[in-house]
Amino acid sequence: MADIKAVATDARTPPVAVWQILEKLRGQDLIDWRLAEVKGRASVEERSLNIGFPFGWYPIELSADLAIGQVKPLRYFARDFAMWRGEDGKVRIIDAYCKHIGAHMGHGGKVRGNLLECPFHAWRYDGEEGVVKEIPYARIIPPQVRRKCTRTWHVIEANRWIWMWYHPEDIEPLFKVENLPEAANPAWTDYEIHEWNVWGSIQNMAENGVDVAHFKFVHGTANVPLGELRWGEWGRGADVKAKMGTPWGEVDGGISYDTMGPGQSWTRFTGISETLLVACVTPVELDHVHARFCFTQPRAQAEGERAGVAKALIRDICKQFDQDKVVWDRQKYQPNPIICDGDGPIPQFRKYYSRYYAQA
Ligand code: FES
Ligand SMILES: [Fe+2]
């Protein structure tokens, strides 16, 4: 939030501690700060972040950003991948390194039909079976690569995103990607996307929503009702009803938050303005998370007379993320935190979230 007027009408109380860092950031400086690497942070070991990555479906890339015949390198979950869209329109992801002499196939690889051709000597990989199907200059394909020789990853497209199933072992998906009808509805806007690099852990980030005490100190909000918490088999959520102040008086608002696994998270706001937030949060390294918040609103509202209020809601959510990021960027993982009575259901969250880690 940049201008003085916006700050003055903000529901938040006095400058919170992180404000000292954020208050001078405007426009492009703020965007740069959101993405820039935090240098000089403590190591993964010192911060106890070496706990692996939780398994689940994760958003990887916008569907529109991968055309038929296009190959892209990816790095997520401390691994390298090559991703391509075959001539049949299907997206495939395999481990990046060629079994021949080790080229990274995401850099300079080509799509041949539905196969991925390595840039080094043109070996051609199948994205389903994980085998080499063709070697243009060889009469015989070596038996070691004629059978499954590289890991292939489950991919689906939903909600205008490419999703990948991550599990440290090669285990079939245990749940689905939820379809969000608004994302496919032409009466809703294209995504407005805001992006961050967080130099911390996805679990610490997920814990934020149940950490009731931090709202006052980090976000400056007086009381945040936790709402009705829902704890399902693979997903959890909350429904919060709140009175929201607007220029035309108080409005009954609702916030409905849902997750499915650690990588799918979406929130529906009603009241001031209808908004769907698809929070795309994907780990890159044990101390690096790539976050992209995708907002969509009914076109009639986003282009109507209350467009300013609809925009302000998005700005406010992004500001909250900025404030949390200041903490997350340096936060350690405390496996046995000392909890006091005003803390909210952090232990319950921890116990729940532990299901997303493969047992050693
Ligand atoms: S390294 Fe890939 S074909 Fe030789
Ligand atoms: Fe927060």
Which amino acid residue places its CA nearest to atom 3 of ligand 1?
A: 121
Mean pLDDT split into 10-residue runs, the chain, 360 residues? 35 60 86 96 97 98 98 98 98 98 98 98 98 98 98 98 96 97 96 98 95 86 77 94 70 89 96 92 98 96 86 91 95 96 93 90
The one-letter code for the residue type at 17 is A
Q: How far apart are the first and last CA of the chain?
A: 44
* Centroid of ligand 1 to alpha carbon of 140 (angstroms): 15
- Residue-wise DSSP of 114-183: TEEEPTTT--EE-TTT--EEE-TT-SS--HHHHS--S-EE-EEEETTEEEEEE-SS----SS-PPP-GGG
**Residue to mutate, 118, 135, 137, ligand 1, most ligand atoms under 8 Å from C-beta:** 118
Q: What is the DSSP letter of 358?
A: P
- Residue-wise DSSP of 261-284: TTTEEEEEEESSS-EEEEEEEEEE
Which ligand neighbours the alpha carbon of 204 most closely?
2
Which ligand neighbours the alpha carbon of 208 most closely?
2
- pLDDT value, residue 165: 98
CA distances from 161 to 101, 125, 190, 276, 301 (A): 33, 24, 12, 15, 24
Q: Does pTM surpass 0.85?
A: yes
326 token code pair: 């200041």
* Centroid of ligand 1 to alpha carbon of 284 (angstroms): 26
Q: Is 97 left (phi over 0), alpha (psi -120 to 50) or beta?
A: beta
Ligand 1: residues within 6 Å at CB?
Answer: 98, 100-103, 118, 120-121, 123
Which amino acid residue places its CA nearest to atom 4 of ligand 1?
A: 121
121 CA closest ligand 1 atom index: 3
* Centroid of ligand 2 to alpha carbon of 219 (angstroms): 7
